Structure 1
Amino acid sequence: MKRVLAWFRSWSMATKHSLFLFAGTLVLFGSVAWNNLHDAEQLFRKQVLSDAQVIIDRTNLYLNAYLDNVQNILLLLSTRAELLEEGHEEEAVTVLRQYAENNSTLYKTLYLVRPDGKVLSNTQVYYDIIGNPNLDRLYNQAKNNFGVMISEPYQSPLSGKTVAFIFPIRTKTDAQLKGMAVIEIDLIRLTTMLSQLMNSRNQTFTIITNKNHVVNTYDTSWPLFYYDLLPYDTSVFPPELNPDFVEKAGDLPVGITELAGAKGKLVAVKSGMNKLGWYFIAFIEDRYFYQNIISLYNNYKAAALVWVLILFVSSYMMSRYVTYPVRMLVAKMDRVRDMEVLPSISVRREDEIGRLAKSYNAMMERIHMLLTETKEMEQRKKQYELKMLQSQIAPHFLYNTLACISSLAKQHKTDAVRETIRSLVGLLSFSFDKSSEFVTLEEELEGLRMYAHIQTVRYGDKFTFHLNIAPETLPCQILKLTLQPLLENAIFHGLAPQKVQGTIRLRTALRRGRLIIYLRDDGVGMNSEQLQSVFSERRKAPSKHRFTGIGIMNVHERIRLHFGSEYGLRIASLPGTGTLIRIELPAYVSKD
C-alpha cells in the first residue's frame, strides 16, 4: 500500500488533476446516463405492458361479444320449442346444421336434448355412432337454472376439448322444462384466433376459469417455440399445462406480477373476470424487455465511448491549461544551475498563478543581486589578499640578498654588485608596480630572469636556469607574478635539498588558442601525499624564504578566478626524478 501511495504521490499535478476531473465527471455523467437508460428501460417495459393490457381488454371485449353471439343463438333456439316435439326431428337437425354452418368459426357442435333423453345434433350421424356422455351431466345442471350456463372445459367425443353453453328451454305458461339447447364451441379455432394477437417468441397467453381450469387448448399447427415459455406436460397428448403452474396462475392477483416459467422469469398481465367467468392472462418473457432495448444499449455504448474520449481529452487539456504555468515555474526552477543567467517567467495572468510567477521573478532577481554582491565581495577580498601578499616582501629575502651584495662588495666584485643591485631594484619595481595586474609574457620573463640572477648569486652553481620561449608567445598577457612563485618553489623545495647541481627548464607554446607553459626541475620530487599538500598550502603560513607571500595555490586560484575553471595548474612529480608543472592560460594579446 505504501508503494502505491508513493507511486501516486510521484505523479505530476497535471496528471492528478486530469485524473480527478475525469473520474469525477465520469461518475457524475455515468450516473446520469445510467439513470436515463434505466428510465428508458422502465418506460419501454411500461409501454409493452400497457400494450399487452390493451390487447387483453380488447380480447375480453371480443369474448364478451362471443358470449353475446352464443346467447343470441341459444335464444333463437329457445323460440323454436316445437323442434323438441316428436315428429320434428328432421327439421330440428336441419335448423341446427344451418346455425352451425353460418357460425362455423365459432361453434363446433349444437345439440337439442329432450327430457326423454332424445338428442338432436347438427352432426346427427356422428352422434348416433359415437354419442356424448357429457350431455346427461349438462342436462342435470340445466334443470335447476333458467338462464345461459357455461360449463367447465371438458373433452367431448365430437368437439374435442370444448366448453358448453347451456340454455334450458321451458314452457311459457308453467315454465316446465321441455329440454335444453347446448352449443360446444371450437376451442382450437378460438385459441388460434387469440394466438394471432398474443403469441410470439417472447410472449404467450392462457385463459383460466374461476375454478382454475384451462380453457385454451394446444394447437399443433403453431410452431413449438410458441409453447416453450410455459411448462407443458408432454407425457399426454395434446400436452397440457402443469397443474401446479395453473394453480399459481389462477392465484395471481389482477394486474401485473411475476411468475417463474419454463425458461425463466415471466411477467404476467392478468385481466379481471369477463362475462364468461374467465381470466385472460398474458405472459411476457422478462428478458424480452432487455432484448428490445439492446439497440438503445448499443447507442449508449457508442455515445459513451465517444463521450469518454472527449471527456478524457478535455480533462487533459483543461488540466494542462491550469497547471501549465506551475509546470513552467517548476521547469524554470529545475534549470537554475548558473546564477549568472537566471530564467524568468513571462507573466500574462492576473490570478493566483500570475502572482506566484511575479513573486518567483522578484525572488530570483533578489537572489541574483545578493549573489552578485557576494561574488564581488569575494573577488575584492581575494584581490586585497593578493595585493597584500604582493606587497609583503619577505624580510629574509631582502636580508639574504643584501648580505650577498655586501659579500660581493668586500670581494671588490664591482660588476657583480652592480648587476645584483640592478636585478634587485628591477624586481622590486616590477613587484610594486600598481598600474596593471596583467603583464606580457615577455615582461614576466624579464622579472623571472632578475629573480633567477639574485638566487644564482646567493646559491652559486647550485642550479642552472634554461629558457625555451616560442616567439609568438611573448606578447600574450598573463597575470603578474605567475611564474616567480613556481620558480621559487622549484629552487627551495626541489633543488636546494639535494647536494648536486640541478637544472630548471621553462618552455612555452601556443596550442589551439591557449598559452601553455612548462616548468620542470630535476630535483628531489614529491610523493603523492606531498603533492596533495601543495594545493592546501594556502591554509599554511607563507615560508620566510619566499620573495612574496604568494604560493602555488594562490597562483592556481588567481588563474581560475580570472579565466575560469578550465584553466590553471597541473603538477606531476616523482621522488628522485623531479617535478613538472603545466600552466594553461588563454592566449590573449592586448591591442594596446
Structure 2
Amino acid sequence: MKKNRVSWFQSRSIAIKHFVFLFAGSLILFGLLAWNNLQDAEQLFRKQVLTDAKVIIDRTNLYLDAYLDNVQNILLLLSTRDDLLDEGKEQEAIEVLRKYAEKNSALYRTLYLVRADGKVMSNSQVYLDIIGNTHLSTLYKQAQSNYGIMISEPYESSLSGKTVAFILPITSKSEDEVKGMAVIEIDLIRLTNMLAQFMNTRNQTFTIVTNKNNVVNTFDATWPLYYYALLPYNTAVFPPELKSAFVSQISELPVGITELNGAKGKLVAVKSGMNKLGWYFIAFIEDSYFYQNIISLYNNYKTAAFVWVLILLISSYMMSRYVTYPVRMLVAKMDRVRDMEVLPSISVQREDEIGRLAKSYNAMMERIHHLLIETKEMETRKNQYELKMLQSQIAPHFLYNTLACISSLAKQQKTDAVRETIRSLVGLLSFSFDKSSEFVTLQDELEGLKMYAHIQTVRYGAKFSIEMDIAPDTLDCKILKLTLQPLVENAIFHGLAPQKVQGLIRIRAFVRRGKLLIIIRDNGLGMSSLQLESVFSERRKAPSKHRFTGIGIMNVHERIRLHFGAEYGLRIASLPEVGTLIRIKLPELSFKE
C-alpha cells in the first residue's frame, strides 16, 4: 500500500510535486513559527511584568527607608530637648509636639513625650486626657531595654487607629540617665494609600509583613473592593483582615518570585528583602493576567493563519502550474545577486537551453566578482591617497599669518612670546609631517591641539579659551592623527571669531561600554538646520585658504568610518546663538594594540 502511494506520487508532474511540497512545508513552518512566537511572547510579557514589579518594590522600599530616616530625624531632634521632660515644662512640650505634627501631618498621626514618672504629653493632649493610650506603658518598658530607635509591631491605638510606633529613649545630658521616651505613631492608612497608588490594580495588589509575621498595611474602605479580591480576607471582622493561615504562608515565602493560591486562583508573588524597618514588601500578580494579551495575540494568529493559508494555496498552485522548477532555481540564484557580497554560482547538470543559460550566468558572475574586487581596491587606494594629500597640505595663509604674528611680537620685544609661538609652530609642523604612523595616542593629539590653540590665541588674543576634561584612562587610546584640530579650527573660525564676546571651547573625553567618546562643545554662533546639513557636504568644496590643513569635518568623519566602520564617526548638534556640540565616537583601542 505504501509502495503504491510512493509510485503514484513519483508519477505525478513536477508542478504537482512542487505544489505539495511548498504548501505542506510552508504550512508546517507557519505553525512552528506561530507556536514559538506565542511562547516567546508569553515569556517576554511575564518577564516584563515581573521586572516592573521588582522595580516598583525596590522604589517602594527606598520610599519606606526615606520615611524611616524622616522619623528618625524627628526623634533625634526631640531627644536633644530633654528639658521638655522637666516638671513645669508640660505646656511647652505640648506646643513643640504640635509644631512637629503640623509640619509633618502627611507622615505622622500622634507624637508623645513620656516621662519616667508616667506623665504623658502629646500633640493631641485633649484626646489623650479623655481617651488615654494603654500601649504607652508597654512601649516604655520595651524602650528601657534599648538605647537606640525601636520600631513596634502594628497595633490598634486609641488616638491613631491602626499604627506602628517609633520609640527613642531620652537621656539626661548631665546625669546620663533615662528621663523618658519620645514616641511617634504613624498613619498606616495614609501610608497604605500612598503605596497603593503604585501597586493596586484589578490584577495586582500588595501587602507588607513584619519579621514577626504581622501585617502592616491596613484595609481602607474608600478603595474599590476589587483591589482586595485577589487575597483571602476574613470578612467576619471589620475592618477585614488577611486570614492568619495566608499570612503565615506568605511570611515563609523566600525572597524572589513564588507561585501560590489566592482567593480567586493562582497568584505570582514577588517578595523583597527585609528593609530598614524590618518589613517585607510582597507584590501579588494574578496568574491569568499574563495570558490575557497572549489570548488576544492567539486570536489574531488564527485570523492571519486562515488568510495566509488561503493565499498560499492559490499562489502555490499558480506558481507550480505555470513555472517550471529549473527556471525558478535560476531566478532564485539571480535574485541573490542583489547582495553584491555574495555572488552565487549555479550547478549545471543540463545540456539544454537552461544549461547553456546557467553556464553564461556563471561566467558573468565570475567576471562581476573580479570587477568588484578591482573596483574596491581602486576606491580604497583613491581614498587613502586623497586623505594623505589633504593631511600634508599646510595652508600658506596660515603660515603667513603665524609668521606675521611672530614678527609683530618680535617688534614688541616680547621674547618669551616669540619663543613660545615658534616652539608651538615647529611642534605643530613636526606633528603634522610625521609620517611614521597615521595613528597617535589621544595624549599626543591633545598636545598638538594645544600648540595649534596657542598659535590661534596669539593671533586672536583673548577671543577664546579652551577647557579640557580628559579621563586618565583615555590618554593612551588610539586616535587618527589630526582628528581634533580640524574640529576646533572650525569652531574658532565659524563659531567664536565672529562674536564680539569671549568664546569657550570645552573638550571632554571618556570611555563608556568599550567606546571612546570625545565631546567638543562651543558657545559660538551655532548653526541653523540648513547650515548643519551643509557641513557634511563640505567635502565637495575647496578647503579654506586660512585653514591649517585641507582636512574638514566631512574628511574627519569619513576617515573614522573608513578605518573603524560605519558605526563610528561624528554626530553634530547645533542651535543658533547657543553653540555647537560635536560627539566623536571611536572604539576603545590601546595605541599598543
Q: TM-score, normalised by structure 1?
A: 0.51
Contact 2:108–2:186 (8 Å) recurs in 1: yes
Confirm whether residue 309 of structure 1 aligns to residue 323 of structure 2: no
Confirm whether residue 167 of structure 1 aligns to residue 163 of structure 2: no
State how far apart, in whole Å, the 2-side matches of 1:10 and 1:305 are: 31
Confirm whether residue 52 of structure 1 aligns to residue 22 of structure 2: no
Pairing 1:120-139 to 2, within 5 Å after superposition: 120-139=121-140
For residues 310 and 262 of structure 1, do their structure 2 counterparts lie closer, same or farther at Cα, with a shift above 3 Å needed?
A: same
State how far apart, in whole Å, the 1-side matches of 2:9 and 2:351 are: 31
Residue 64 (structure 1) aligns with: 65
Confirm whether residue 296 of structure 1 aligns to residue 288 of structure 2: no
Shift of 1:66: 0.2
Residue 268 (structure 2) aligns with: 267
For the residue of structure 2 that corresponds to 1:113, the secondary structure is strand
Contact 2:82–2:173 (8 Å) recurs in 1: no
Pairing 1:82-93 to 2, within 5 Å after superposition: 82-93=83-94
For the residue of structure 1 that corresponds to 2:288, the secondary structure is helix
State how far apart, in whole Å, the 2-side matches of 1:77 and 1:183 are: 11
Shift of 1:97: 1.1
Shift of 1:286: 1.3
Once the two structures are overlaid, the 10-residue window that deviates more, 177-186 or 252-261, is: 252-261
Residue 157 (structure 1) aligns with: 158
Residue 148 (structure 1) aligns with: 149
Counterpart residue identity of residue 152, structure 1: E
State how far apart, in whole Å, the 1-side matches of 2:312 and 2:255 are: 48
Shift of 1:150: 0.5
Pairing 1:19-38 to 2, within 5 Å after superposition: 21-38=22-39
State how far apart, in whole Å, the 1-side matches of 2:271 and 2:11 are: 63
State how far apart, in whole Å, the 2-side matches of 1:11 and 1:157 are: 92
* 1:155-214 C-alpha deviation (Å, 9 max, x unpaired): 111111111101111123443110011111000000000101111111111111111111
For the residue of structure 2 that corresponds to 1:208, the secondary structure is strand
* 1:199-239 C-alpha deviation (Å, 9 max, x unpaired): 11111111111111110000111000111111111111000
Counterpart residue identity of residue 289, structure 1: F
Residue 480 (structure 1) aligns with: none
For the residue of structure 1 that corresponds to 2:167, the secondary structure is strand
State how far apart, in whole Å, the 2-side matches of 1:77 and 1:173 are: 16
State how far apart, in whole Å, the 2-side matches of 1:134 and 1:269 are: 34
Residue 256 (structure 2) aligns with: 255
Pairing 1:412-561 to 2, within 5 Å after superposition: none
Contact 2:133–2:158 (8 Å) recurs in 1: yes
State how far apart, in whole Å, the 2-side matches of 1:32 and 1:144 are: 66
State how far apart, in whole Å, the 1-side matches of 2:92 and 2:54 are: 46
Residue 397 (structure 1) aligns with: none
* 1:449-491 C-alpha deviation (Å, 9 max, x unpaired): xxxxxxxxxxxxxxxxxxxxxxxxxxxxxxxxxxxxxxxxxxx
Counterpart residue identity of residue 290, structure 1: Y
Counterpart residue identity of residue 87, structure 2: E
Shift of 1:294: 4.5
Shift of 1:23: 3.3
What is the aligned-residue RMSD (CA, Å)? 3.2
Residue 98 (structure 1) aligns with: 99
State how far apart, in whole Å, the 1-side matches of 2:49 and 2:259 are: 15
Confirm whether residue 190 of structure 1 aligns to residue 191 of structure 2: yes
Residue identity (%) = 76
Counterpart residue identity of residue 175, structure 1: D
Shift of 1:256: 1.6
Contact 2:45–2:290 (8 Å) recurs in 1: yes
For the residue of structure 2 that corresponds to 1:155, the secondary structure is strand
Shift of 1:315: 3.3
State how far apart, in whole Å, the 2-side matches of 1:301 and 1:40 are: 16
Residue 239 (structure 1) aligns with: 240
For the residue of structure 2 that corresponds to 1:108, the secondary structure is strand
For residues 191 and 260 of structure 1, do their structure 2 counterparts lie closer, same or farther at Cα, with a shift above 3 Å needed?
A: same
Contact 2:38–2:294 (8 Å) recurs in 1: no
State how far apart, in whole Å, the 2-side matches of 1:8 and 1:238 are: 76
Residue 213 (structure 2) aligns with: 212
| Number of residue pairs the alignment of both structures matches | 331
State how far apart, in whole Å, the 1-side matches of 2:224 and 2:351 are: 77
Shift of 1:247: 1.4
For the residue of structure 2 that corresponds to 1:284, the secondary structure is strand
Shift of 1:15: 7.0
* 1:287-321 C-alpha deviation (Å, 9 max, x unpaired): 11222345533443343233222222233334545
State how far apart, in whole Å, the 2-side matches of 1:8 and 1:265 are: 52
* 1:501-538 C-alpha deviation (Å, 9 max, x unpaired): xxxxxxxxxxxxxxxxxxxxxxxxxxxxxxxxxxxxxx
Counterpart residue identity of residue 166, structure 1: I
State how far apart, in whole Å, the 1-side matches of 2:305 and 2:37 are: 13
For the residue of structure 2 that corresponds to 1:83, the secondary structure is helix
Pairing 1:266-345 to 2, within 5 Å after superposition: 266-321=267-322
Residue 478 (structure 2) aligns with: none
* 1:63-118 C-alpha deviation (Å, 9 max, x unpaired): 00000000011011111111111111111111111111111111111111111111
Residue 504 (structure 2) aligns with: none
Counterpart residue identity of residue 161, structure 1: K
Once the two structures are overlaid, the 10-residue window that deviates more, 269-278 or 30-39, is: 30-39
State how far apart, in whole Å, the 1-side matches of 2:47 and 2:199 are: 17
For residues 152 and 314 of structure 1, do their structure 2 counterparts lie closer, same or farther at Cα, with a shift above 3 Å needed?
A: same
* 1:544-580 C-alpha deviation (Å, 9 max, x unpaired): xxxxxxxxxxxxxxxxxxxxxxxxxxxxxxxxxxxxx
Contact 2:260–2:267 (8 Å) recurs in 1: yes
Structure 1 unmatched ranges of 5 or more: 325-348, 355-592
Counterpart residue identity of residue 253, structure 1: P
State how far apart, in whole Å, the 1-side matches of 2:320 and 2:293 are: 41
Once the two structures are overlaid, the 10-residue window that deviates more, 16-25 or 259-268, is: 16-25
